[in-house]
Amino acid sequence: MSTDALLQRLRDELGKEAVLTDADVTASYSRDMMPLAPSGKPLAVVLPADTAGVQAVVKACAEAKVPVVPRGAGSGLSGAANAIDGCVVLVLTKLDEIVEIDPANRLAVVQPGVVNLDFRNTVEKHGLFYPPDPSSYDWCTIGGNLSTNAGGLCCVKYGVTTDSVLGLEVVLADGSLLKTGRRTVKGVAGYDLTKLFIGSEGTLGVITQATVALRPLPQAPATLVAGFSTTEAAGEAVARVVREGLVPSLLEIMDAASIKASETYLKTDLGAGSDCQALMLAQSDVGGEAALRELAVLEQICADCGADLVYATDDLEEGKMLLQARRVVLTALESYGIWLTDDVSVPRTRIAELIRGCEQVSEKVGLKIAVVGHAGDGNMHPTIVYAPDNEDEFVRARQAFDDILEIGLSLGGTVTGEHGVGKIKRDWLAREIGPVGMRVHRQIKQALDPENLFNPGSMFSMTD
């Protein structure tokens, strides 16, 4: 099938307005938020309105042997949704229906184009809670969260996206519709295909629906902030929290560069003091006196570890204000230049070593590096800032990005905790999982996508 014939078939199947070919328009769908990842020029961008439309696109592209790159809102940070030359970008944002909310069984059925925050707000009206909360939760979509197995600030207590998913509907490479998982609390029939597709970055199939588990709505959180004059003291406090079995609903850390950026952006003093090298933020959502008791233990741990500042509040608005300092870090860093955020996870006892390592990398490359992260699970986000029009700084930023990944692996960590591999960390995936792991990945890909048409080149190459 020629490309012209393919485009006409897509128009016939989806409607003329759902097939975009203008180069200026398709360019806006060609990449996500990761500046280092390569991207190509798509043949077309298609926006089906339902599962049948997705199946029609996949079948047509399979017959024409044209690659398909699934895409959500484009909030990703690994290049996993980036176009390659001549592909069809399959945008799933029009599949935006919350199909069902079942309060009695605490589950919901949702399409991939639903925005995370919209979904959370909707189920909240039923007294329920959907835990996954990536920092971009006000515009990222459920489908993108599923594709990358996204995390967020609440992972320490509630886990990542896969921990809230019961089942999926997935369009396979031949256009057939696979249903995985269940609606029951327990179920071990067959392979766990649901978890196979979650985090596969669109390389194995196109997710068109998910059945997700919901939780009872937590109580309004109580919040704690603690400032430390050394990174090591903050790291010891985190380790103590883990050792003593505390599971706060949120446990975040910010280094000195992040604190300063947030204070400047918010035009406020966080009260950390000029000598503060690390700020720890924690929340408890168990409610009432229980939350205050949990925070009291956290306060004592921080004091024992030498915190210069420890402050706790059960005032909801004050807590939101404190947490805002963490949420705005990336936006705040834009005042210094373009940012490039890394994503490494290390054992929680080695967070301080990672932050120190990032400081050394910063000195080596001569660029600002700010570190924030989910201290409760060891997932850190070192963010490198460089001038947008300076090619030399861009090269140094790329070197810093790789140096940080090297440090993460050397500390017994992983090269990605929640952003995914995409098109930027393919070599690092191979280093982390080794040749046998790569062989198994390729065998699974070959079994489900024998023509290598789903997002080819993301995560790994079939020929390396």
What's the Cα-to-Cα distance from 52 to each of 29, 59, 176, rounded to whole Å?
Answer: 22, 10, 10
What integer best gives the mean pLDDT of the chain?
94
Which one-letter amino acid corresponds to residue 211? Answer: T
**pLDDT at 271 exceeding the cut of 80:** no
DSSP 8-state class, residue 342: -
Q: Could you report the per-residue pLDDT of 163-193, keeping only the tens digit for each?
A: 999 999 999 999 999 999 999 988 899 999 9
C-alpha to C-alpha distance for 148 and 144, rounded to whole angstroms: 6
Instruction: Average the pLDDT over 323-333 and give the result.
Output: 89
- pLDDT at position 455, please? 97
Query: Band of the pLDDT at 295, cuts 50, 70, 90?
Result: very high
**pLDDT at 383 exceeding the cut of 90:** yes
Dig out the tokens for 137 from the structure.
């939760």
Contact 322, 254 (CB under 8 A): no
Which one-letter amino acid corresponds to residue 265? Answer: Y
Nearest in space to 338 (alpha carbons), one of 376, 387, 302: 387
Instruction: Average the pLDDT over 433-460 and give the result.
Output: 96
Instruction: Average the pLDDT over 109-137 and give the result.
Output: 95
- pLDDT at position 407, please? 97
C-alpha to C-alpha distance for 398 and 210, rounded to whole angstroms: 36
Buried b or exposed e, range 36-64, using 16+ CB within 10 angstroms: bbebbebbbbbbbeebebbbbbbbbbbeb
Nearest in space to 221 (alpha carbons), one of 189, 251, 195, 193: 251
User: Which residue(s) pair with 45 in the sheet?
Assistant: 20, 89
User: Which residue(s) pair with 129 in the sheet?
Assistant: 215
C-alpha to C-alpha distance for 67 and 123, rounded to whole angstroms: 36
Contact 119, 142 (CB under 8 A): yes
**pLDDT at 272 exceeding the cut of 80:** no
Contact 204, 448 (CB under 8 A): yes
Query: Band of the pLDDT at 106, cuts 50, 70, 90?
Result: very high
The percentage of residues in the chain with a pLDDT greater than 70, rounded to a whole number, is 99
Which residues, 6+ apart, have CB-to-CB distance to 302 below 8 Å?
A: 224, 226, 228, 237, 280, 310
Using DSSP, state whether 386 is helix, strand or coil: strand
- pLDDT at position 352, please? 93
As a three-state string, the secondary structure of 83-143 is: CCCCCEEEECCCCCCEEEEECCCCEEEECCCCEHHHHHHHHHCCCEECCCCCCCCCCCEHH
**pLDDT at 68 exceeding the cut of 90:** yes
**pLDDT at 327 exceeding the cut of 90:** no
- pLDDT at position 321, please? 87
The percentage of residues in the chain with a pLDDT greater than 90, rounded to a whole number, is 84
Q: Could you report the per-residue pLDDT of 193-226, keeping only the tens digit for each?
A: 999 999 999 999 999 999 999 999 999 999 999 9
The pTM assigned to this predicted structure is 0.93
Which residues, 6+ apart, have CB-to-CB distance to 198 below 8 Å?
A: 146, 147, 149, 161, 162, 165, 168
Torsion angle in degrees (nearest 10) through CA of 247, 249, 250, 251: -10
Query: Band of the pLDDT at 70, cuts 50, 70, 90?
Result: very high
C-alpha to C-alpha distance for 161 and 199, rounded to whole angstroms: 9
Lowest mean pLDDT among 50-59, 164-173, 308-317: 308-317
- pLDDT at position 275, please? 83
Surface-to-core class of residue 406, CB atoms within 10 Å of its CB (0-12 exposed, 13-18 middle, 19+ buried): middle
- pLDDT at position 463, please? 84
Query: Band of the pLDDT at 1, cuts 50, 70, 90?
Result: confident
Dig out the tokens for 106 from the structure.
């605490």
Contact 221, 249 (CB under 8 A): yes
As a three-state string, the secondary structure of 224-255 is: EEEEECCHHHHHHHHHHHHHCCCCCCEEEEEE
Using DSSP, state whether 68 is helix, strand or coil: strand
- Bigger pLDDT: 321 vs 453: 453
**pLDDT at 274 exceeding the cut of 80:** no
- pLDDT at position 25, please? 94
Contact 343, 33 (CB under 8 A): no
CA 415 from centre of chain: 13
Surface-to-core class of residue 443, CB atoms within 10 Å of its CB (0-12 exposed, 13-18 middle, 19+ buried): exposed
Q: Could you report the per-residue pLDDT of 5-41, keeping only the tens digit for each?
A: 999 999 999 999 999 999 999 999 999 988 888 899 9
Q: Could you report the per-residue pLDDT of 340-376, keeping only the tens digit for each?
A: 889 999 999 999 999 999 999 999 999 999 999 999 9
